[in-house]
A and B are shown apart, each in its own frame.
Chain A
Amino acid sequence: MIAQLWQYVLAGVVVGAIYALIAAGFVLIYQVTGLINFAQGEFAMIGAMTSSALATGGMPVLEAAAIAVLVASVTGGLCYLLAIRPARAATGVTLIFITLGLDVALRGLGLFVWGTNPLSLPAFSGGAAITVLGGALPPQAMWVLLTDLLVFAALYLFFRHTYAGTAVRAAVANPPIASTFGIPLRTFAFWSFVAAAAIGGLGGVVVAPITSATYDMGLTLGLAGFVAAVLGGLDSLPGALVGGFVLGIVEKLAGGVLSTGWEQGVGFLILVLVLVLRPQGLLGRAARRA
């Protein structure tokens, strides 16, 4: 029994790592623009589908992965330029609907380009399953966790130890005043979309060998990413990391103990509880804009 539960926890850690990446994208965009980007999961779909399609066509996995992240980033930038920026005078609800439209459009585009059949991506490295305290993890899990480590370390270094990162934090803290100091808010908004899409795309690439890639995977991943981000507080990158792991583990435990259909349901029940009981999230400060 305990061994079984432990196995669920390990599986939860792996999906949680993916959720954390998508949640990080939400947090980036939310911090810089005050916008919840409902299309975030689709960037992961684009990453997963592009890399799988290229690898199926015979390209080496790491090359395919790099191109996929690039494609996702370009998509993210285009989303901002074509849909968000022209409507920047709009109010909150309109912008929510616009990102909702982006989500639907990108999923439809994925269907156009890749069809309904699932694609698969070979694991980045072969080898036997890794055993952790009696539970088994696929070798790909190490790549997933390594990606999380690198991405969050890079974000930390960027925000804490670079000039540009400090400028972004200033822009987040007080947009009008940052603007009078010559900080280009709109450029930052653009790059937040590019970065969020790149991170989301990377999440899709590393998860593809585990779950395989389908055109409609973005919705589920995106929603889980939301829950993780809200759980962590929406304006906190460490919160996104913690929220991702908490959600992944709880989902897999619920899925294992109840039935897999409940995985998503339990995630949303947590979301609702958090929204009611602690809207600022586990690690977030009191909500500013929400």
Chain B
Amino acid sequence: MYGRFGLVLLALVAVLVWFLPSYYTGLLTQIGLYALVTIGLNMFMGYAGQVSLGQAAFVGIGAYTSAALAVKGHVTPWLGLIAGALVAALVAYVLSFIALRLRENLLALATLALGIVINVVFNEWEFIGGSSGFKDIPGFALGAFTFDQRAYAILAWALVALGIWFAGNVVRSSFGRALIAISAGELGAQTLGVESERLKRQTFVLSAVYAGVAGAVYASSFSYIDPSSFSFLLSVNFVLMSVIGGIRSLWGAVIGAAVVVALGQVLQNVVPLVLPSARGDFQQFFLGVILIAMLILLPRGITSRLREARA
């Protein structure tokens, strides 16, 4: 079911890009990439019941790996994408030994801290551009065709389709049921023979792969990255997407990404009309308020309401 709906969405995007102005095509790409990250995050947070406040760092690792390979080594972004996913996975694997020993409050703190440490590394490591990052990152190409906005939107949503199909299979397998068991009670799951340590680690690594892939595509499609692109605020945004859509829902990830991006656009256009003096990242205020309101009023996200309506 996930696979088929993913293909329907992909087909929809592939048609839409021929009619939308390029600005909106860019937004579609953004939604697709955010959705990809959030799908991975939902497996880790929603299904396995863990928490990560540092997901932006894995997006950054994917982006920086691919950009560094392309700019310094003239490696094609296609390989850069795979390398980005692998490096993100490797970092997640190593960090999991530190972070996944912790629960709830302290896990949140540790992932937040690790995310910021990784951002400091981006800032301080001159080899990868330091605070100015990379510019003129080569784009994807197929033969003689260099990707344009439309192609990136299609690529992003092809990855979403693939990602949601794979994640759908994961969460409906015995692996996914074991994850749900962990989130319901880790000790109980262990007594039933669930190897919670290994499963949590694998899910964390998988979520980093999703983030790394999205980062690699982001780097090439924007052709510019710097450390501030992968800040703590981006991690908060992923949490917001996850919560809005429904933390234990794969479609929720797509819906959450779309809602947050659309909301950002609306706020950017509406708020200056109401409050002409507002400037800068003023949307933050609303994002925070919406996050709180969602958690109080609809803690299982928009998709939970849809599911109830259907039942």
Q: Which of B116, B236, B278, B284 contacts A268 (CB 8 A)?
A: B116
Q: Are B285 and A265 in contact (CB under 8 A)?
A: no
Answer whether residue A230 sits at the interface, using C-beta atoms and an 8 A cutoff: yes
Query: In this complex, which of A101, A104, A105, A289 has the most chain B Cβ atoms within 10 angstroms of its Cβ?
Result: A104
Q: Which of B51, B102, B295, B296 contacts A275 (CB 8 A)?
A: B102
Closest to B233 in A: A104
Instruction: List A257-290 residues whose CB lies under 8 Å from chain B.
Output: 259, 261-262, 264-265, 268-269, 271-272, 275-276, 279, 287, 289-290
Answer whether residue B7 sits at the interface, using C-beta atoms and an 8 A cutoff: no
Encode B153-171 as 1/0 by CB contact (under 8 A) with A. Answer: 0000000000000000000
Bound: A93/B291 CA distance, A: 13
The binding surface of chain A is classed by DSSP as helix
Of B73-81, B119-127, B191-199, the stretch lying at the interface with chain A is B119-127
Q: Are A96 and B104 in contact (CB under 8 A)?
A: yes
A93 and B51 in contact (CB under 8 A), knowing A111-B284, A265-B116?
yes
Answer whether residue B232 sits at the interface, using C-beta atoms and an 8 A cutoff: yes
Answer whether residue B143 sits at the interface, using C-beta atoms and an 8 A cutoff: no
Of A3-11, A60-68, A83-91, A183-191, the stretch lying at the interface with chain B is A83-91
Q: Which of B116, B236, B288, B295 contacts A106 (CB 8 A)?
A: B288
Encode A97-109 as 1/0 by CB contact (under 8 A) with B. Answer: 1101111111111
How distant is B231 from chain A, measured CB to nearest CB, in Å?
9
Q: Are A111 and B288 in contact (CB under 8 A)?
A: no
Answer whether residue B5 sits at the interface, using C-beta atoms and an 8 A cutoff: no
Of A140-148, A162-170, A194-202, A219-227, the stretch lying at the interface with chain B is A219-227
How distant is B233 from chain A, measured CB to nearest CB, in Å?
7
Q: Are B279 and A115 in contact (CB under 8 A)?
A: yes
Bound: A269/B106 CA distance, A: 14
Encode B263-306 as 1/0 by CB contact (under 8 A) with A. Answer: 00000000000010111111111111111100110010000000
Q: Are A265 and B121 in contact (CB under 8 A)?
A: yes
Q: Which of B45, B104, B121, B295 contacts A87 (CB 8 A)?
A: B295
Bound: A279/B117 CA distance, A: 19
Closest to B114 in A: A272
Answer whether residue A179 sits at the interface, using C-beta atoms and an 8 A cutoff: no
- Determine the chain A residues whose CB is within 8 A of the CB of B233 once the complex forms: 104
Number of interface residues of B (CB under 8 A): 50
Q: Are B291 and A104 in contact (CB under 8 A)?
A: yes
Closest to B103 in A: A290
Q: Are B113 and A268 in contact (CB under 8 A)?
A: yes
Answer whether residue A28 sits at the interface, using C-beta atoms and an 8 A cutoff: no
Query: In this complex, which of B49, B53, B113, B277 has the most chain A Cβ atoms within 10 angstroms of its Cβ?
Result: B113
- Determine the chain A residues whose CB is within 8 A of the CB of B113 once the complex forms: 223, 227, 268, 271-272
Q: Are A112 and B282 in contact (CB under 8 A)?
A: yes
- Determine the chain A residues whose CB is within 8 A of the CB of B103 once the complex forms: 290
Q: Are B299 and A90 in contact (CB under 8 A)?
A: yes
Instruction: List B177-236 residues whose CB lies under 8 Å from chain A.
Output: 232-233, 236
Answer whether residue B37 sits at the interface, using C-beta atoms and an 8 A cutoff: no
The binding surface of chain B is classed by DSSP as helix
Instruction: List A74-129 residues whose CB lies under 8 Å from chain B.
Output: 82-83, 86-87, 90, 92-94, 96-98, 100-109, 111-112, 115-116
Q: Which of A97, A227, A265, A279 contacts B120 (CB 8 A)?
A: A265
Bound: A176/B147 CA distance, A: 62
- Determine the chain A residues whose CB is within 8 A of the CB of B131 once the complex forms: 261
Q: Are A104 and B105 in contact (CB under 8 A)?
A: no
Q: Are A116 and B279 in contact (CB under 8 A)?
A: yes
Bound: A96/B299 CA distance, A: 13
Q: Which of A87, A96, A108, A226 contacts B287 (CB 8 A)?
A: A108
Q: Which of A108, A271, A289 contacts B284 (CB 8 A)?
A: A108
Answer whether residue B243 sits at the interface, using C-beta atoms and an 8 A cutoff: yes
Q: Which of A97, A108, A109, A290 contacts B283 (CB 8 A)?
A: A108
- Determine the chain A residues whose CB is within 8 A of the CB of B104 once the complex forms: 92-93, 96, 290
Q: Are A90 and B295 in contact (CB under 8 A)?
A: yes
Q: Are A96 and B284 in contact (CB under 8 A)?
A: no
Answer whether residue B239 sits at the interface, using C-beta atoms and an 8 A cutoff: yes
Bound: A82/B293 CA distance, A: 10
- Determine the chain B residues whose CB is within 8 A of the CB of A83 once the complex forms: 292, 296
- Determine the chain B residues whose CB is within 8 A of the CB of A219 once the complex forms: 232
Answer whether residue A242 sits at the interface, using C-beta atoms and an 8 A cutoff: no
Answer whether residue A36 sits at the interface, using C-beta atoms and an 8 A cutoff: yes
Q: Are A226 and B281 in contact (CB under 8 A)?
A: no
Answer whether residue B108 sits at the interface, using C-beta atoms and an 8 A cutoff: yes
Answer whether residue B43 sits at the interface, using C-beta atoms and an 8 A cutoff: no
A87 and B296 in contact (CB under 8 A), knowing A103-B288, A104-B284, A275-B106?
yes
Bound: A107/B51 CA distance, A: 22
A108 and B108 in contact (CB under 8 A), knowing A97-B243, A268-B116?
no
Bound: A265/B115 CA distance, A: 10
What is A's interface to B at a CB cutoff of 8 Å? Answer: 35-36, 38, 82-83, 86-87, 90, 92-94, 96-98, 100-109, 111-112, 115-116, 219, 223, 226-227, 230, 259, 261-262, 264-265, 268-269, 271-272, 275-276, 279, 287, 289-290
**CB pairs A–B below 8 angstroms (16 shown):** A36-B105, A83-B292, A94-B295, A100-B53, A101-B240, A104-B287, A107-B284, A107-B288, A108-B285, A111-B284, A116-B279, A219-B232, A230-B106, A262-B124, A265-B116, A268-B117
Q: A107-B288, A112-B285, A268-B117 are in contact. List 10 more A-B contacts (CB 8 A).
A: A38-B108, A92-B104, A100-B53, A100-B239, A223-B113, A227-B113, A272-B114, A272-B117, A290-B102, A290-B106
